Amino acid sequence: MRYFSIDVRAVSPLALRADHAAKGSRTAEYISGTVLMGGLAAVHRLLYPHDTPDFEDLFLKDRILYPNLYPAMFGDEGMQESNLPVYPFPRTARTCKRFSGFLYKFKDEDKDEDEERHGVRDALLDWAMFKLSESSEEIDSQAVARLIGELKAHKSCHQPRGTRICLEAMDEMEGYYRREDDEPYHMIAAESTHSSMRLQTYTGINRELGTVEEGILYNREVFEEGSRFWGVAKLPDDEKLVDKFKKLICEANKEGLLRVGTGRTRGLGKVKIVTNTQSNGNEMFDAFKARLLKFQQALEKRAQAKGVQLSHPFYFTLTLHSPLILADESLRYRGRIDGETLAKEAGLPEGSLRLLYEAAGGQRIAGWNELWGMPRTAEYAIDSGSVFLFASALQVEDAWLERLFALEEAGMGRRRAEGFGRVCFSDPFHLQEELQ
C-alpha cells in the first residue's frame, strides 16, 4: 500500500457544514473525506469530462482511501512545518478544565506573557486496573479502595498554582494533536478551530428578480484564509493509479479549480493541496508489533505494582482515528465494538477476544453526495477518539497479529474510501500516564 500526506491550505474562506438540517446546521471542525473526494471528483469532471475509466478508478471503486483532513494549525513553527500525522485526542485523555493543554509553553503573540497550561494525561491504564480488579479473586479490599481513589483523583487538577493546588475540575481533552515519531513522543495540540473561524455576513437574494432582497441578512461561520488541514490518503501498489492521483492533484493546483464545502459560487472554499510520499509500509509490521508489545508490558507493569492478577495472556486497545460506521447482521448501527464483533472483523477465532472497558460516543452522519448530486441517507457512527480495551485468549503470535495489522491498514466498517473507519491498535498516547 502507498501513502500520501495531504496538506490542504485555504486560499479563500471555507464554509464546512456538519449536516444539512432544514432549521440550521453546525459547522464541521474538519474537512471530511467525503468533502475532499467530492471536490476532487468535481475537478476531474471539469478537466477530463470524457475519461470515464479514470473517474471510476479514482472515485467509484473504493481503491483509494481518502482521509479526513484534521485542523493543522500549531503554535510551534517546527511542528507546524513537519509532516507528522494529526490525530484526534482519545476520549481517555484528561486535562484541567480551566487551564487545558500540554505543559509546554510557547509565546502567544497576542499576550504579554505565556499562557498557563496544566498538562494532559491518559486515564486508560487506571481504568484498566479497576476493571481487571472486578474479576480478580486475589485482590483485597484495600487494593480495590486504592484503585478507586486513583480514579477519583482524575476529577480534579493537582497542578500547583503559586502557593496552592489548582483543584479545578478535570475534563476530557478535545481537539487534535501532533506527536513526534520517537520517544519521548513530544506532543503539541492544534489550535482551537474556533480561533481560525469568523462570521461572514451575506445578503439574501430575491429568487424571482435575482437581486438583493431588502431586509434579509444572514451570517455564515467560515474558516479563515490560511487555515491548514492534514490527512493521509492510502492507495494500492498500482503505479498507474498512483500516477493518475498525482496528476489530478497537480492539475487541480495548477488550474486553481479545487473547492470544498459550501458557498463555492460566492467565492468560498478555494484550497491548495501539498502532497508528500509517506513510507510504503513494507517494514511497518515490526513497528506495529513492537507498539502492541510495549502497551502489554506497560499494563503488566502497572498490574504488578497494583497487585492485580491478569487473567488473559494479552491485552490491547482499539482507538478510532475517525468516525466508524458499523452495522450488525440486521443492519442496525452499532454504538460499540465488543469482542465478538472485533474478532469477526479481524478473522480471529470466535470467543478469543473480550471487551474490558470502553470510552465511546456516537454521532449522526449526514451530508451531500457530490458524485451523485443528491443528499445522503443519514447514518450513525461511533465517534472518533472512542477507545476500547480488549483481552485476548490467544498467545502472542505473528499469525493473528498480522490480521490486526491488516485491519488497521484497511480500516473497518462502511465508507472507508471517504475517511471513515480509521483505527489504531494500542495507540502510544495511552502510555501517557504522567502529565505532559
pLDDT above 50 (res 163)? yes
- Domains of the chain with CATH codes: 2-73+193-277 (3.30.70), 87-174 (no CATH), 284-431 (2.60.40.4350)
pLDDT above 50 (res 107)? no
- Note every long-range contact of 39-46, with CB atoms under 8 Å and residues 24 or more positions apart, other chains counting: 39/258, 39/259, 39/260, 39/269, 39/271, 39/370, 40/66, 40/248, 40/249, 40/252, 40/258, 41/370, 41/371, 42/257, 42/259, 42/370, 43/248, 43/251, 43/252, 43/255, 43/257, 43/258, 44/248, 46/257
Write down the pLDDT at residue 23. 56
User: Average pLDDT of 20-40?
Assistant: 80
Kindly tell me the sign of the dihedral angle through the C-alpha atoms of 81, 73, 276, 321: positive
Report in angstroms the alpha-carbon separations of 132 from 126, 303, 318, 372, 386. Answer: 10, 9, 17, 49, 20
Write down the pLDDT at residue 21. 59
Comparing 76 with 176, which gets the higher pLDDT?
176
Is the pTM higher than 0.75? The answer reads yes
pLDDT above 60 (res 105)? no
Amino acid at 155: K
Query: Are the beta carbons of 73 and 227 closer than 8 angstroms?
Result: yes
E-state strands within 295-361:
314-320, 353-359
User: Average pLDDT of 212-218?
Assistant: 81
User: Average pLDDT of 65-80?
Assistant: 87
Write down the pLDDT at residue 311. 87
pLDDT above 70 (res 25)? no
d(Cα 16, Cα 76) in Å, to the nearest integer? Answer: 26
Of the ranges 29-33, 322-326, 363-367, 416-420, which one carries the lowest mean pLDDT score? 363-367
d(Cα 190, Cα 86) in Å, to the nearest integer? Answer: 8
Residue 197: closest CA among 71, 89, 303, 88: 71
Write down the pLDDT at residue 359. 92
Q: How far is CA 396 from the centre of its chain?
A: 28
Give φ, ψ of 188 to 5 degrees: -145, 135
User: Average pLDDT of 46-74?
Assistant: 91
d(Cα 128, Cα 40) in Å, to the nearest integer? Answer: 43
Write down the pLDDT at residue 201. 81
Q: How far is CA 346 from the centre of its chain?
A: 21
d(Cα 160, Cα 118) in Å, to the nearest integer? Answer: 9
Tell me if residue 309 falls in helix, strand or coil.
coil
pLDDT above 70 (res 282)? no
Tell me if residue 191 falls in helix, strand or coil.
coil
Write down the pLDDT at residue 135. 66
User: Average pLDDT of 59-72?
Assistant: 92
pLDDT above 90 (res 347)? yes
d(Cα 25, Cα 62) in Å, to the nearest integer? Answer: 29
Please count the residues of the chain: 436
Q: What confidence category does residue 108 fall into, taking pLDDT thresholds of 50, 70 and 90?
A: very low
Write down the pLDDT at residue 337. 94
pLDDT above 80 (res 146)? no
User: Average pLDDT of 320-324?
Assistant: 95
Write down the pLDDT at residue 110. 47
d(Cα 27, Cα 197) in Å, to the nearest integer? Answer: 10
Q: What confidence category does residue 66 fall into, taking pLDDT thresholds of 50, 70 and 90?
A: very high
Query: Are the beta carbons of 390 and 292 closer than 8 angstroms?
Result: no
User: Average pLDDT of 21-31?
Assistant: 73
In terms of average pLDDT, the best of 168-182, 196-210, 306-320 is: 306-320
Write down the pLDDT at residue 156. 79
Q: What confidence category does residue 276 fall into, taking pLDDT thresholds of 50, 70 and 90?
A: confident
In terms of average pLDDT, the best of 24-28, 50-54, 279-283 is: 50-54
Comparing 56 with 134, which gets the higher pLDDT?
56
pLDDT above 60 (res 106)? no
Write down the pLDDT at residue 50. 87
Write down the pLDDT at residue 113. 46
* Residue found under cell 489548582: 166
pLDDT above 70 (res 112)? no
Please give the mean pLDDT across all residues of the chain.
85
